[in-house]
């Protein structure tokens, strides 16, 4: 285990996830503190902070210590903070935003490195988010399947029916034009900082394997999608107002649970630019 001098790191599950204590992101944090937070982020794939009382510009400033914030490709940000995307489900809505296992916007040529989500309003119960470790999902595969996956490329699309449904309320409310976005990425990617291999596909975005038909692709993809979210590879986080989650899209997937109909949930997300998966 890594030794930390400036923060306290408490793992929440065996597979991934840790709460970070001892920092207030509304303040200008020392570089030494940021270095330790980044170590925890890389070690645990998703980190959580509690009781953060911050204005939108302070959330963006904290995010900038780890990367370059980018605009979400389908929706506009807050008027006072364009780099913050509101992630909202209202009392009358049935679909929640992104309510399926996925890594964010893999239909972009350079998908985001990470995402930082801050809870502004939460339901009295429900609305948890689950996360899954894609290093472990890959490492648990047989050597034969690892060899078979080497070189395979997945074609990601923004218009798969499952994920389109989870965005329809917000797109309609914003009057947004729905653009079709597509990109190709390896089914197994190597993390640019840790060097570890991770599965990089999802039911939400992967339409088929490059050079294969959808019918040919689905048996293998469905096996991988089930592998990716085996319970022993996951953790679950319960939100409170002021909770912040920061996850690594390059090696972790997430799934917001849609179990709070009739209640409002409002989150503010900052997305950090990434690179081309390899």
Which of these is catalytic: 191, 250, 254, 265? 254
**3-class secondary-structure state, position 119:** strand
The number of beta carbons lying within 10 Å of the beta carbon of residue 161 is: 6
Phi, psi (5° rounding) for residue 61?
Answer: -65, -40
Indicate if 254 belongs to the active site: yes
Indicate if 205 belongs to the active site: no
Which of these is catalytic: 44, 104, 185, 189? 104
Please state, in angstroms and rounded to a whole number, the distance separating the CA atoms of residues 204 and 160. Answer: 7
Cα Rg, the chain, nearest whole Å: 18
Please list, in sequence order, all residues whose beta carbon lies within 8 angstroms of the beta carbon of residue 148, skipping any fewer than 6 positions away.
none
Please list, in sequence order, all residues whose beta carbon lies within 8 angstroms of the beta carbon of residue 196, skipping any fewer than 6 positions away.
135, 190, 251
Which of these is catalytic: 102, 167, 170, 250? 102
The residue among 169, 171, 185, 183 whose CA lies nearest residue 134 is 185
Which of these is catalytic: 44, 205, 265, 269? 269
**3-class secondary-structure state, position 259:** coil
Indicate if 102 belongs to the active site: yes
Indicate if 39 belongs to the active site: no
- Which residues are catalytic, by number? 102, 104, 254, 269
């Amino acid at each position: 285990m890594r030794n930390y001098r400036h923060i306290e790191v408490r793992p929440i599950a065996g597979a991934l996830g840790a709460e970070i204590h001892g920092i207030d992101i509304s303040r200008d944090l020392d570089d030494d503190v940021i270095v330790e937070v980044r170590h925890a982020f890389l070690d645990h794939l998703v980190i959580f902070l509690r009781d953060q009382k911050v204005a939108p510009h302070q959330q963006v400033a904290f995010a900038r210590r780890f990367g370059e914030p980018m605009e979400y490709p389908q929706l506009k940000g807050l008027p006072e903070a364009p780099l913050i995307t509101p992630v909202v489900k209202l009392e009358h809505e049935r679909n929640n935003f992104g309510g399926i296992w996925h890594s964010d916007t893999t239909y972009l040529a350079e998908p985001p490195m990470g995402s930082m989500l801050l809870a502004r309003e939460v339901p009295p119960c429900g609305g948890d988010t689950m996360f899954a470790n894609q290093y472990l999902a890959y490492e648990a595969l047989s050597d034969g399947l690892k060899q078979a996956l080497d070189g395979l490329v997945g074609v990601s699309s923004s218009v798969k029916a499952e994920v389109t449904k989870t965005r329809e309320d917000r797109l309609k409310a914003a009057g947004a034009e729905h653009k079709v976005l597509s990109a190709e990425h390896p089914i197994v990617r190597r993390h640019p900082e840790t060097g570890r291999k991770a599965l990089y596909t999802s039911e939400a975005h992967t339409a088929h394997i490059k050079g294969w038909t959808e019918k040919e692709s689905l048996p293998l993809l469905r096996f991988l999608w089930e592998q990716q979210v085996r319970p022993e590879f996951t953790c679950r986080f319960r939100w409170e107002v002021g909770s912040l989650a920061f996850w690594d899209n390059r090696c972790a997937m997430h799934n917001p649970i849609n179990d709070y109909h009739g209640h409002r949930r409002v989150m503010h997300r900052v997305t950090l630019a990434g690179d081309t998966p390899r």
